[in-house]
Amino acid sequence: MYVEYGGKFYRPLHPRPTVVVISRCPDGRINAMPASWNTPVSEEPPTIAVAVDRSTYTFQCLEHSGEATINVASADAADLVYALGSVSGRDVDKTSAFGLKLLPSDMVGAPGLDGSIAIYEAKVAAKLDVGEVRLYVFNVIKAKAAQGLVDEWGPILEKTSPLLHGAGRAFYRVNPRKIWARKPTAKAPPKSAPPEAGDPGRRPE
């Protein structure tokens, strides 16, 4: 049985992987904003979308620079990520206030965040206003991963965990125990058939 959900509509979609969007702002300051409303969009070209409230300082910075680094936070960074999301870059120089360790980028002007599981150097490719947010679609120009923590399938969960945001100060880590799905017994479709819409994860080979 299902009943009408009375909480914020998006809560059942959490916890969600959290990234830190780092951008260069009009005053030259470097700003860092956590964002859990993010998703890969396409493989070719490689793109990532991030929803940014239009009232935020990060919105101003992205409109100014048109580029950013998207830093995949680890569970060990929960305190820092929560602190970064608790103040506005309009009022606080987050780099100095929180002692951020920044790494120079190769392809964009915004630096990466040291200690991240992965760092994407990215440029804004498209924008869409939805309600109070602007959805930025970024072209990934370069992707870098922490050595020894990421393999071809993603973060090595026995060594690290992406930071998952639940609500408020509540964060989670990924349980490294694998759940293996049973192989389907139904006959597979011909190889020429396109993948089903909404197919989770990797496309069928």
Q: How confident is the model at residue 198 (pLDDT cuts 50, 70, 90)?
A: low
Q: Kindly state the percentage of the chain with pLDDT values over 70.
A: 91
Q: Three-state DSSP class for 97? A: helix
**pLDDT value at residue 187:** 75
Q: How confident is the model at residue 193 (pLDDT cuts 50, 70, 90)?
A: low
Give which of 135, 31, 37, 133 is closest to 84, Cα–Cα. Answer: 31
Q: Three-state DSSP class for 134? A: strand
**pLDDT value at residue 202:** 54
> What is the model's pTM?
0.90
The rounded mean pLDDT for the chain is: 94
Would you tell me which CATH number, out of the four given (3.40.50.150, 2.30.110.10, 3.30.2010.10, 3.30.1490.190), belongs to the domain 11-172?
2.30.110.10
Contact assessment for residue 165 and residue 74, using Cβ atoms and an 8 Å cutoff: no
Contacts of 174 (CB under 8 A, 6+ apart): 75, 155, 157, 161, 162, 164
Give which of 160, 141, 134 is closest to 77, Cα–Cα. Answer: 160
The pairs formed by 145-151 with CB atoms below 8 angstroms and a separation of 24 or more are 145/117, 145/118, 145/119, 146/116, 146/117, 146/118, 149/117, 150/117, 150/118
**pLDDT value at residue 186:** 77
